[in-house]
Structure 1
């Protein structure tokens, strides 16, 4: 997942090396999620492998490094998890919901609007479980259209 420019200063200078070590040396290029995302994975661990088709989403996996406590400055190995995009987004779902509420409230206040931030907006909730396809998806060939310079009669 890309680092937002306003948060870049929070990551150590050697973040790329730390992230690569977690994703490829420690995790062997496979998602390390064992339920951190709220899903029960077959065999106990997410089967997603870097640069292969994800068995649940059908998209190509780009392995990421998740901060379990959502603190970029904390790069202890026990706080970092190699995660596919689906698991990473699910792990961060509650954090994203809270920060979005705070951002929207700050924008409203800056615009001179009075508002409130309910406590319920600051509670972590789990996203719904994605549907599991009955059979693994395979890459579909690209649709090819042919155009001619002639108009139809």
Structure 2
């Protein structure tokens, strides 16, 4: 996952190498949150459930085998996603690059892990836009 230009300053210069070690050597090319394999197209139902072709089972959003199989209607709406692993900071502190603080997550697990930070940034962006609008165009109607 590319790092935004304004956030690159917070990452070490050897981040690509450190990220590769976490994703491929330690995690073995699978998501540490749900177990999805890197670089493969995975069928999923949109709610976290996905088909693990290696073991031939449906798994939930945390990688556990499902006890109740999806219905035929749910399987008919299956979608494909290409899995790409990224390295995430568990405590959201980009200066803390300890091995225990880094995790290899797929897109879904990474978004869920960073959900509160994304909400905070969205609120800040909307607040800033409203303030700029008030400053230059007057209060909102």
With the shorter chain as reference, the TM-score category is: 0.5 to 0.7
Instruction: Structure 1: give runs of 5+ residues left out of the alignment.
Output: 34-45, 116-153
Deviations 1:31-75 (A, max 9, x none): 001xxxxxxxxxxxx131011123426211111111122222221
Q: Within the alignment, does 1:50 sit opposite 2:38 as a pair?
A: yes
Instruction: Structure 2: give runs of 5+ residues left out of the alignment.
Output: 45-78
What is the distance in 1 between the residues matched to 2:88 and 2:80?
21
Work out which of the two has the higher radius of gyration on C-alpha atoms and give 1 or 2. Answer: 1
Query: 1:23: which partner in 2?
Result: 23
Count of residues in Structure 1 that have an aligned counterpart in Structure 2: 103
Query: 2:129: which partner in 1?
Result: 107
Query: 2:82: which partner in 1?
Result: 60
CA RMSD of aligned residues (A): 1.8
Question: TM-score, normalised to structure 1's length?
Answer: 0.62
Structure with the higher fraction of residues in helix conformation: 2
What is the distance in 2 between the residues matched to 1:114 and 1:12?
42
Structure with the higher fraction of residues in strand conformation: 2
What is the distance in 2 between the residues matched to 1:65 and 1:7?
15
- Which one has more relative contact order, counting CA pairs under 8 Å at least 6 apart? 2
**Contact (CA 8 Å) 1:47, 1:55: kept in 2 or not?**
no
Question: TM-score, normalised to structure 2's length?
Answer: 0.66
The runs of at least 4 consecutive aligned structure 1 residues that moved more than 3 Å come to none
What is the distance in 2 between the residues matched to 1:87 and 1:15?
20
Query: 2:95: which partner in 1?
Result: 73
Counterpart mapping for 1:127-142 below 5 A: none
Q: Within the alignment, does 1:98 sit opposite 2:120 as a pair?
A: yes
